[in-house]
Structure formats: structure tokens, C-alpha cells
A = this chain, B = another copy of it.
Amino acid sequence: MYRTSKDTQERKDAKRQLILDTAAKVFAVKGYHSTAVKDIVDAAAVSVGSFYFYFKSKENLFTELYLNIAKRFQTNAISVLDVENFSLIKNFTRVMMANLWLYEQNRDISKIMLLEAAAINPEFQKIRAASMKESAQTMAVWFERFKLHHQVNIPDERVAALIYEGSFYYLINDWLETDAPVPLTDYGYAFCVYNLQALKIAFEEESVKQYIDDVLEELEEAHHK
């Protein structure tokens, strides 16, 4: 019994993950409300019973999906930081690009984060609001540090953080609506410039361009390993 329990656990985990991944795909295409549990289990080739063995409810599954993704985004942004050796400008640019890159890698998931999550139901709003607040908070801390070390002009860090997040999400959102999307790098530079200038950070265009190329290359490399 004990010898097989590890295998069993692995199989369980795999099935759970399969349902989670499939759900993400289906939600992205049909939207949360237009997706029936049956749609998910059919696509994943598992039974309704299994679905409810692994997840308490449809909403529960969605919440888990949402929080998972939120975490991944946070992690991804941090992965490109090198606080010790890089300048704030470089780190900021790298974070912006890392986030754009991650969304580009996961169109399906992005749609869920941005479009669906907003309208599940009043209860879910709280979860979403908390997650967003946390994310903005991280940004606000950054902006504080900018103020300490740079010649910047940010009347209100919290507002700035929100605006930054919004600018990011809307850009992505538009990109998701477009069927044949433009490559990320085209958006990237304009996006970085807009936000760097918004904070009144002085930068050299060539440096920023270089930072962008570098971080994208790194991310691709890490991804293909």
C-alpha cells in the first residue's frame, strides 16, 4: 500500500492539473458563464464525478485558477529583478517586459484574468480586489524607492501604481481582442517609454531598448529549458 501511495498521489495530481489546465482553455474560449462543467469534463475526457472529487464547485475551481495565475505573474516579475546590480530603470523596464512576455505566452489564461474574473459574482469580487490590491502594493513600493533615488515626479504612489497596472492590462486586453496580434516587442518599447516618462524618469532610449532585448532573450532562454 505505502509503496504505491506515491504513484497514486502523482496520478491524482496529474488529473487535477489536467482539469485545471483544460478549464483555463475552455473558459478562455467560451467565458466563465457560458462554460458548463460538462464542457470542461468533456474537453478533459474525465467524468463529472471526478470533477467534483477534485474541486468543490465550479466557482472554487475558478478561484484556484485565478490565484494560481496571479501568483505565477508575481513570481515571473521577481525572477528578472537583480536589485543588487541593476539600476532601478533597468529593473523597472525588465519587470514591465517580463509581465508583457508572460501574458503573450499565455493568451488563454490572460483572458481569464482580465475579462472573466471581473464578472463572476459579487463574492468573487473580493478575492479579485484583494489580489489586485496586493499587486498594486508591490508597484507602489517600487515607486517609493524611485522617489528616494531618482529625479522623479510622482504626486501619489498609490494612484501611480493603479494607473500603471491599468495601462498594462488595457494594452494586453486590446491585444487579446485582436485576432492576428502584433509581436510583443513592438508594443513593449512604447509601453515602457510611456510609463517611464509618466514618472518623469530620465532615460536614454538606447539603453532602454537594450534592456528590453536582453530581458526578452533571457526569458525565452529560460522558457526553452
Contact = CB atoms under 8 A, between A and B. Distances in A.
B190 A160 contact: yes
B177 A171 contact: no
Interface string A147-172: 00000011110011011111111110
Contacts of A167: 162-164, 166-167, 170
A33 B198 contact: no
Contacts of A105: none
Given A31-B122, A118-B116, A122-B30, A163 B153 contact: no
Contacts of A194: 154, 159-160, 163, 198-199
Contacts of A169: 166, 170
Give the oligomeric copy count: 4
Contacts of A170: 162-163, 165-167, 169-170
Q: Is the interface of A mostly helix, strand, loop or mixed?
A: helix
A187 interface: yes
Nearest to A124: B31
A119 B122 contact: no
Q: Which of A125, A170, A195 has the most CB of B within 10 A?
A: A170
Interface string A184-225: 001101110111011110000000000000000000000000
Given A155-B190, A166-B170, 9 more contacts: A33-B121, A119-B119, A125-B177, A160-B190, A162-B174, A163-B194, A166-B171, A194-B198, A197-B197
